[in-house]
Structure formats: C-alpha cells, structure tokens
Amino acid sequence: MTFARILGHERQKDILRRAVKSNRLAQAYLFEGPDGVGKELMAQALARMVFCADGDGCGDCPACRKVDHHNHPDLHLLEADGKFIKIEQVRELQREMALRPLEAPRKIALIVGAERMNQAAGNALLKTLEEPNGASLFILMTHQPERLLSTIRSRCQRLQFGHLPLEKLKQALTEKLGLDDTEGHLLATLAEGSFKKALGRDREFFIEQRRELLKRVTALSAGSVLPLFELAKQLNDDKESLPDVLELLLAFYRDLLLFAHARPEQELVNIDLMEKIRREAGRHNVTALLRKLEAVIECRRHLERNVNSQLAIEVLLMRLAA
C-alpha cells in the first residue's frame, strides 16, 4: 500500500512524506479518527516508505514486499488479545523494540486499537515512549483517543483522520464495485465516510432486503402484536446484523424528517425510495418522527450496553408502531 493508493487524507500524507524525506520523523505518532477511514493503511504505507530501498514505498523492492506480506523482521504489530491489550503483550513488544533493527534503519511498532490498553499496559508503554532509543518508531491508532492516558497522548505527534467526503467515497465505490449511481450513494452515505465499512457491506442486504425491512416496519401498527413479535424474533436471531438494521432505520427516519422539512432530495440517503418517503412523511407529524428517531437511537444505546436484545428490539418496534 502506497500513499497514492489511499483514498483522501492528503494533508496527513504530505506531513508524513515531508517527515520521511527530511529524516525528521517523530518517535511516536497517534493516528486518531473514525474506524475504517484509512488509519491502518496509512501506518502500513508509512512503514513501507521508511523501509523502502528507494525511500518512496516503491512496492517492488524486497523491503516493500515484506511489509505487504506482513513478514518484515523490523515491523511489529500489536492488537488486542480478546477485549484488551494486556501488559504481557506490551512487555513482549518492548523486548522486540529494544533489539537493534535487523534490516531497516529503525524498528516500527503498529499498535491497532490503542484505546484497548488496560491501565497497566498503558503505563508500561508510557515508560518506553518516555525513553526512546532513537531507532524505533511507534504508531498508535485509535478511534477513541480520550481513553488513552493523557501522558501517552502528550508523547505522540497527533494526526487527525476525518470521514471521507461523500462524493469521493461514492465515486470510489462505484468504480471498485461496479455500482450504479443510486447504489453508490446509498452505500457511501450509510458507511459514514468509511471506505472499509462500505466495502464490508452486504450489498444484497442494504439494497434489496432494506426494502423488505422498511416495508415490514412501516406496516406495523399498535394492534399488530403477532407480526411485531415475529419481526422482533427474526431480527434478534441474526444479532450480527442488528447494528446494520438500526443504521438503516436511523437513515430512513432521518430521511422522513428531512423530507418533512422540505430539504433537497440530494440530502436523503434512500433516494430510490422517494415515493415511500413521501407517503410515510405524510402520515406523521414532525414530533412523531422525532420520537421514532429517538427510539432507534435509544435501542442502539441499550444494545451497546449489552441489555436483553430481544426486549430492546420489541420495545423499539412498539414505539415505531405507535
């Protein structure tokens, strides 16, 4: 992976290129921003540039190929073992980073999901960052920088990574996946500026089954008890898809609110469902639509806190049916 092949983040690329060319890399970087927007790709591209025989991450030299195949002896990856990054993992990384580089001018450690370090692991890493050996580079990546020790944050040069622009993401998805304009708009909008998230989407679910989901949800009424509980059970039986289901519902009710406020169609997510949006927006006033949107948001919060998912979905559908 080279900088040129990474979508967006031109300012961050320029900062890192200039640091490499002038031999003024920081001892530690903190790449922070939403999941899936390119932080890991940028870290790998930086490692390739540092190790590259030509100094530009050519992709052809032995060093670049080793980085691409994850077998470069001077590149070390640290990520959570289970829910957390444990102190034993950090200590093992410290031992590796204390050794002299075997092939490259320096060793590089990539720490993915740095917010998952427990306090002991964080304190251990801090000691290493406070006493750099001059032949090591640490790149920490996180979507929750506030969970890191403030002293770790202060020891790193911080680079912010934002969401990718909608039109740029839409264009990339359309070209890579062969989507039409409507499909590209839908996936790009639901991915919230994350290329990785968009590529992970099940197109059939988001473009076809989305219609069936919205049809069944909007057909519910306060008296439709059996269909409501049947749908709740079906959704709960596929727990892995629940976050995506809630995201679709959020996008739909957001569209209804925007339409009710006479916003341009281009701002909507489900632009291929305009007739349904007109019909549903006409059935409810703005206050009712806000309550439905709040119900979806509350359900998502409950599921993030590991409450009874079946009950949370049933309550959500009852509120949407009201």
Cα-trace Rg, the chain: 24
Q: Which of 41, 103, 104, 113 is nearest to 78 (CA)?
A: 113
Q: How confident is the model at residue 37 (pLDDT cuts 50, 70, 90)?
A: confident
> pLDDT at residue 193 above 60?
no
Task: Provide the pLDDT for residue 156.
Answer: 97
How far is the C-alpha of 269 from the C-alpha of 290, rounded, in Å?
A: 17
| Range list of H helices, the chain | 10-21, 39-51, 62-68, 87-98, 119-130, 150-155, 166-177, 181-190, 195-199, 203, 210-219, 225-237, 242-260, 274-283, 286-304, 309-321
What's the pLDDT band for 52 if we cut at 50, 70, 90? Answer: very high
Backbone angles phi and psi of 141, in degrees to 5: -125, 135
The pLDDT value recorded for residue 202 is 59
pLDDT at residue 19 is higher than 80: yes
Comparison of pLDDT for 265 and 110, the residue scoring more: 110
Q: Which of 14-18, 148-152, 266-270, 290-294 has the lowest mean pLDDT?
A: 266-270
Under 8 Å between Cβ of 312 and 296: no
**What average pLDDT score do residues 202-208 get?**
65
pLDDT at residue number 120: 95
Q: Which residue has the higher pLDDT, 289 or 59?
A: 289
Alpha-carbon distance 211 to 217, whole Å? Answer: 10
Query: Is residue 318 predicted with pLDDT exceeding 80?
Result: yes
User: How far apart (Å, rounded) are the C-alpha atoms in residues 181 and 227?
Assistant: 34
What DSSP string runs through 184-224? HHHHHHHTTT-HHHHHTS-HIIIIIIHHHHHHHHHH--TT-
Q: What is the pLDDT of residue 273?
A: 87
Name the percent of the chain lying above pLDDT 70.
94
Rounded to whole angstroms, how far apart are CA atoms 202 and 216? 20
List the structure tokens of 41.
């790709």
CATH topology for the 202-321 domain: Zinc Finger, Delta Prime; domain 3 (1.20.272)
Looking at 3.40.50.300, 2.40.110.10, 1.20.1730.10, 3.40.30.10, the CATH number of the domain 3-160 comes to 3.40.50.300
What mean pLDDT comes out for the span 72-77? 96
CA 113 to chain CA mean position, Å: 11
How far is it, in rounded angstroms, from Cα 268 to Cα 250?
Answer: 12
| pLDDT band for position 85 (cuts 50, 70, 90) | very high
More confidently predicted of 195 and 309: 309
Q: Among 168, 154, 146, which residue's Cα sits nearest to residue 37?
A: 168
Q: Take residue 252 and report the two structure tokens written for it.
A: 């739909």
Per-residue pLDDT at 261 exceeds 70:
yes
Q: What is the pTM of this model?
A: 0.69
